[in-house]
């Protein structure tokens, strides 16, 4: 298959939906010769921040001299963003070759009478295959959903990272916060150290699982912490002293994410002397992770693009906006999926003096923008719905002209589209 054919194949798998469980992926990787066993891995899950932590951890490993893969989802603009090695996304030809290999394995499964693998299972198997074919030393693997029954959970990592635990995907992860925590705890493997920023009852669940597996657990705020510094964070750990790190990624929520990546790197440094304070510092100062408090300027308007897609993400975005643009007037350009708690998100983000433009994300799961508008209307009367993303961006820019910040947030399906439109219009990165 070429690249277009590989995308058509993946699209054809959407009819099978999303199914949790490991039996299909276990057979897929077996038929591919277990590529996931040919390099070291770091496994990352959590309600928010897992993509940022994954990107930082991968950057640290690359800076330390390791050929490093990074598997994340979803993508903002192109499927090739999901398969990255040393900061470079896969070529379309290499992506297609990996999907073709996974398809051959899936076809063999069907011939055996097995169930058809899902799109995410095929993508995950293809990523494992791609990293093996490209001879990476390490791969940082981001969980798709939950952890326990997620397709990525066939790896045996050297470190398991659980960023945080909040209510999301509860319908597939036990129906309660405790159930969500137990699903995320599912990535904890025997003897594998765990790094987490979970708190309260979810942390208790993780501790219990770690104890059962004989795994040491390192909790943010207890075993390590970070305080805001001049241009980044002042990191401290019970085991490793203290150090200052400048951060390339904006947003107050990246302070905790960076601390998780640093503590993960410290554990890897116990095995690899190449991982040092200097390599960690260089990586954190240069890493890029698009769509997370990413700042642009266009037509004199200061713009923030952020993939806050659930209530916890909205709260983190609010904190960062308040800290970075204290007292400044704002326009919010929002689009949220129907299965998210958009009421809680809007009530967290929207202020009485905000102007709000609502547009639907490019997804079958997009929430009705009129429903979102009714919730926003309870907070501010400056609300309008613009159905097309391009027109919505133009309207938001018009409303922000003068002295307002424009913040585009919500579903990554929307953020990826808006980010592309901004770059096409000549927006340049700010800071």
205-258 pLDDT per residue, tens: 999 999 999 999 999 999 999 998 878 999 999 977 789 999 999 999 999 999
Give how far Cα 169 sits from Cα of 20, 147, 173, 391, 408, Å.
12, 11, 6, 32, 23
Domain limit, last residue, from 265, 285, 305? 285
Model confidence pLDDT, tens digit, residues 5-55: 999 999 999 876 667 789 999 999 999 999 999 999 999 999 999 999 999
pLDDT tens digits, one per residue of 139-171: 999 999 889 999 999 999 999 999 999 866 555
Instruction: State the CATH number of the domain containing residue 374.
Output: 3.90.190.20
Pair (49, 164) in one structural domain: yes
The verdict on 33 and 101 lying in the same domain is yes
**Together in a domain, 191 and 237:** yes
Do residues 58 and 152 share a domain?
A: yes
- Residues 327 and 218 both lie in one domain: no
pLDDT digits (tens, 9 = 90+) for 335-385: 998 878 899 999 999 999 999 999 998 877 777 899 999 999 999 999 999
Pair 307, 419 in one domain? yes
Range of the domain at 243: 3-285
Last residue of a domain, one of 255, 285, 315: 285
CATH number of the CATH domain containing 194:
3.40.1190.10
User: Cα–Cα distance between 243 and 37 in angstroms, integer?
Assistant: 34
Are both 254 and 223 inside the same structural domain?
yes
Considering the domain architecture, whether residues 318 and 375 belong to the same structural domain is answered as yes
217 plus 341 within the same structural domain: no
| 285, 315, 332 - which closes a domain | 285
């Amino acid at each position: 298959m070429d690249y277009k054919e590989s995308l058509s194949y993946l699209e054809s798998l959407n009819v099978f939906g999303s199914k949790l469980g490991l039996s299909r992926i276990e057979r897929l990787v077996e038929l591919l010769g277990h590529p996931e066993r040919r390099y070291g891995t770091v496994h990352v899950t959590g309600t928010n921040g897992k993509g940022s932590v994954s990107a930082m951890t991968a950057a640290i490993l690359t800076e330390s001299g390791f050929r490093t893969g990074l598997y994340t989802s979803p993508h903002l603009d192109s499927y090739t963003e999901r398969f990255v090695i040393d900061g470079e996304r896969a070529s379309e030809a290499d992506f297609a070759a990996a999907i073709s290999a996974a398809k051959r394995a899936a076809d063999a499964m069907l011939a055996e009478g097995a169930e058809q693998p899902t799109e995410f299972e095929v993508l995950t198997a293809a990523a494992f295959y791609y990293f093996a074919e490209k001879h990476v030393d390490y791969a940082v693997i981001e969980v798709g959903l939950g952890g326990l029954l997620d397709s990525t959970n066939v790896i045996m990592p050297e470190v398991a990272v659980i960023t945080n635990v909040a209510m999301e995907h509860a319908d597939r992860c036990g129906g309660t916060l405790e159930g969500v925590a137990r699903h995320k705890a599912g990535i904890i493997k025997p003897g594998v150290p765990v790094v987490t920023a979970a708190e309260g009852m979810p942390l208790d669940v993780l501790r219990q699982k770690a104890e059962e597996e004989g795994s040491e657990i390192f909790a943010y705020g207890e075993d390590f912490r970070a305080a805001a510094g001049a241009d980044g964070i002042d990191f401290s750990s019970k085991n490793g002293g203290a150090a200052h790190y400048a951060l390339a990624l904006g947003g107050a929520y990246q302070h905790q994410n960076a601390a998780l990546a640093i503590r993960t790197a410290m554990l890897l440094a116990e095995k690899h002397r190449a991982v040092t304070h200097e390599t960690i510092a260089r990586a954190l100062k240069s890493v890029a992770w698009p769509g997370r408090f990413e700042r642009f300027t266009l037509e004199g308007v200061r713009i923030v693009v952020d993939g806050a897609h659930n209530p916890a993400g909205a709260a983190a975005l609010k904190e960062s906006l308040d800290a970075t643009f204290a007292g400044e007037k704002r326009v919010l350009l929002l689009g949220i999926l129907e299965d998210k708690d958009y009421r809680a998100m809007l009530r967290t983000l929207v202020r009485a003096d905000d102007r709000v433009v609502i547009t639907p994300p490019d997804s079958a799961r997009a929430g009705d923008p009129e429903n979102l508008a009714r919730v926003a209307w309870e907070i501010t009367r400056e609300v309008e719905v613009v159905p097309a993303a391009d027109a919505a961006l133009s309207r938001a820019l018009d409303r922000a002209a003068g002295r307002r910040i424009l913040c585009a947030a919500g579903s990554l399906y929307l953020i990826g589209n808006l980010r592309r439109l901004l770059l096409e219009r000549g927006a340049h990165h700010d800071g």
